[in-house]
Amino acid sequence: PRLLQTVFRKSKSNGIPSRLKFCMPAPSDARQFNNWLDALRAVAQLAPYGIDPIWRPEVWLGCAEHNYRDVEWSSVLKFAFNEKLNPDDHMLGVQIVKDLYRTGSCGLLSPSDDRAALKRVLLGYARWNKEVGYCQGFNIITAVLLKVLNNNEAAALKVMIQVVENLLPEHYFNNNLVALSVDLAVFRELLRVHVPRLWAHITKLQGPVSKDPAKSDITYEPPLTNVFTMQWFLTLFATCLPNEIALKVWDLIFLYGAEVLFRVALAIWSSLQTVVLTTHTCDEFYMQMSTAVLDIRQGRHITCEELMKKIHSIPPLSQEKLQEFREEIMYNIQPPNLGLYAKEQDVHCMSLLLNSNPKKEKSTDRDSALIPLL
């Protein structure tokens, strides 16, 4: 049955109507769907309450099914979850199984959770999108989806497709993480604008970087914020924030899109400004940040209400403006023979961030490729 939800309260001074009505599940009509989204966005601003967890599965799935309403899901699901092995399945399965146990070590799976379901959804997505296949970070995203969607594998696959291919930019996980590198550069520019004192201090700690193209063996220190922000973006903050807060952030991502990643990261970094300003060297920065990030994960540094208010106080970036930022950065990337690049050890560093108990594994063609760090 369609559930009518009515919201009373919240002053008009915040730009939110005192009475909102919307229905579950999501309407199929495009205009009604946009009105539905607007109502949910208003509800999401009722910090610290936001979207009721009871609504969450229908909201996430409703967004996915609306954006892919022309897909013949019965055929897709039959192919994705077919028990007959495809030629590429074995290689994919080996990497997926390795990461299943890492997912548990991140605290996203309990011993009672069904790892077989997680493997089936991950393999199903790899079959759906052979160009992307399986990438590190997918295990964490899929584990969250299965938990929220009550282990409904078909629903988890639909929403996984929505996250990777609709909400996030193309090539966020594949093609040597080019899109992620661009977004990290966009974020640093936003940090300069929104939290200038913090940005100036981190830039001072970083120091100048030599860009002499004649030197082929440059010891390159990636931007200090990248070490932490990269993990946050790749896992959509699932491994950074307490579960309750992380799910509220995911609600915002489904309602507003990828620009929420920047607002959340800005909110977190601004809350850490006092800590960071006490550091005088890169080593001190990493030590203080490692402790602060652990405090945030355990809910000791910032409350849900404080973080949500910070997020909503930052003006949203329009899709047009965000795309303009990204294109400008892409245009300014130097050709491979002139730019600074991170080699295999930097790729492995990302692996360390994504996994609690990582081990150095044999490098693959993907790992050994050069990744531009902007």
Tell me what pLDDT residue 113 has: 61
Per the model's pLDDT, the better-predicted residue between 113 and 17 turns out to be: 113
Q: How far is CA 239 from the centre of its chain?
A: 10
pLDDT for 209 equals: 57
* pLDDT computed for residue 360 by the predictor: 39
The pLDDT assigned to 47 comes to 61
The model's pLDDT over 30-84, given as tens digits with 9 standing for 90+, comes to 888 888 888 899 888 876 678 889 999 999 999 999 999 999 999 999 999 988 8
- Asked whether the predicted pLDDT for residue 228 surpasses 90, the reply is yes
pLDDT of 307 over the 50 cut: yes
DSSP annotation of 36 reads H
| pLDDT per position as a tens digit, 314-339 | 999 888 999 888 988 887 754 333 33
Residue 292 has pLDDT above 70, yes or no: yes
Instruction: Report pLDDT for 203.
Output: 94
Q: Residue 3: its pLDDT value, please?
A: 39
pLDDT tens-place string over residues 85-142: 777 777 777 778 777 766 654 556 665 567 889 999 999 999 998 888 888 789 899 9
Q: Is the pLDDT score of 340 beyond 80?
A: no
Q: How confident is the model at residue 173 (pLDDT cuts 50, 70, 90)?
A: confident
28 or 340, higher pLDDT: 28
Cα three-residue angle 44-49-52, rounded to 5 degrees:
75
Residues in the chain, overall count:
374
Checking if the pLDDT of 170 tops 80, the result is yes
User: 3-state SS of 236-280?
Assistant: CCCCCCCHHHHHHHHHHHHHHCCHHHHHHHHHHHHHCHHHHCCCC
pLDDT in tens, 238-247: 999 999 999 9
More confident residue, 26 or 280: 280
**Which among 18, 32, 23 is positioned nearest to 5, based on CA atoms?**
23
Which residue, 196, 202, 197, is CA-closest to 280?
202
**Choice between 345 and 163, residue whose per-residue pLDDT is larger:** 163
